A and B are shown apart, each in its own frame.
Chain A
Amino acid sequence: MTEATGPERVRTAEQIELSAREAAAGVTPRQDHGSWAAKVDRLDVQQRDGVRGTNVAGRRLTGPVQGFGKMWQKTYRLDVGPGTSPQQAIATWKAHFPEFWPPGNRFAGALTGISPGDVALLDLAIGGGVKLSTGVFVLYADEESFTLMTPQGHMFAGWITFSAERSDPGTAVQAQVLMRANDPLYELGMIFGGHRKEDVFWAQTLTALGRYLGAPGAAGVPAGTVNPAVSTRTVCVDSKRQWRNARNIWHNSMVRSVLQTMAAPLRALRRRSAQDG
């Protein structure tokens, strides 16, 4: 049995035993070492302007294995035409990521854009004047894709991969979510309108990106609406719910955000009396 040949050890064809196929073809193996975030047990966050920034610090990351609800794979895709290469599309998406989000939602990431290991803070509009405060972790980023992973308390446990690829006749950009609702309350929310809301969210995001990149027909699509050219494909990967993870509800950021919003006047009063005293 051969030993593992991690990409981190790759140097030259002489230094390592490149396969005959690769050596003959003059192919340099792809490397992923710098594309993955370093391992973290719990999230560490820095406060950012414009967002509340709660419900993230100290939280663990959650993948589909840790989630509660049915498992879904949702793919949103838009052809942006031949004028943009996949690398250009992803570079633009990374650099301007928050600008493409639908109005009323805030994404406060690192000033440098999207890099592996970054933690971004989110305020998401959930109605009734309440903002759901949560975050995302940049799990993976390379020139053709990047992936965000969610923490405990987020609506879903899983990750979302943003990618671009050559697709005749041009370049297609794509957002693909692999997720389970994080707890029973979120699962109910997904059933009663949450899925539709999420579909609109990402379709609007792709529409905004397409407009920025000059996608065919994008100029005629008003801001805040969905370009009908955005395709959506939804697959239920696992129809079973993971009841062992029902207690994830303890971390539910929606419940906590509502409580934090209700408690805000009390906190302000306490601060004022402390200053007066």
Chain B
Amino acid sequence: MSRRAELWTGAAVLVLLAVAALAVPLLGPDPDATDYANRLAAPSPSHPLGTDQAGRDVLARAAAGVPTSLGAAVVVTAVSAAVGLLVGVTAAVAGGWVDTVLSRVVDVVLAVPQLVLALAVVGVLGPGLTNLVVAMALAGWAPLARYARTFAAGLLHRPYVVAAELAGVARPVAALRHVVPATAGGVAAVATLGLGEVVLGLAGLSFLGLGVAPPTAEWGQMVAESTTVAGQAPWLVVVPGALIVLSVAGASLLGDALAREAP
């Protein structure tokens, strides 16, 4: 696939998921409405993807899972990228002891594997979707900060930045005007590449029961609820699983294309 095709395919997959999240609730049944008489029904015209162990419509729940699964991952990634950009650029531009302190902090956070750190944070904050998002962001900013620092440090010697400083622009202003925008593109690309892993991580922790509280729909949670009936109703595992795969593949195509586009 050409870079353009990858870019558009990746973006299209993610946009389609978002559109589905908006459109399905308008057409289909309530994702939380139970119907025990009709539980574990196979896919049919009235329930295109079947029903789950409480008789809830799987298509409606899959769509309701977009904001809690993919949406939450986008929030984690955006917050991580913003914090990483801020810390990385500050370290590079300030230099000296500020750089030393920030870089050591990044080193220490990187010494804890991302998902393990997220588990530790949820362990003290307690389970819940908000806490899970906070935990993943607390663990996710460090690699992006390291990347932003390296990238920004390289920019500081570029003629246009040096010229701005020679022209009398104060260093922080020059950094804000010339270093931050150029670094942001690269950080966004790298963060998008990591979006797939965030989706997988969030779904995994939700699968363990550390995320949304029932009956809220979330893809990892949907799989967890149906493990005991996976044999009778495999679609209960396959549908949320396929949506996760789609999200990861979309994010990876988009991120790859963006990363190659970035300088």
Asked if chains A and B come from one complex, the reply is: no
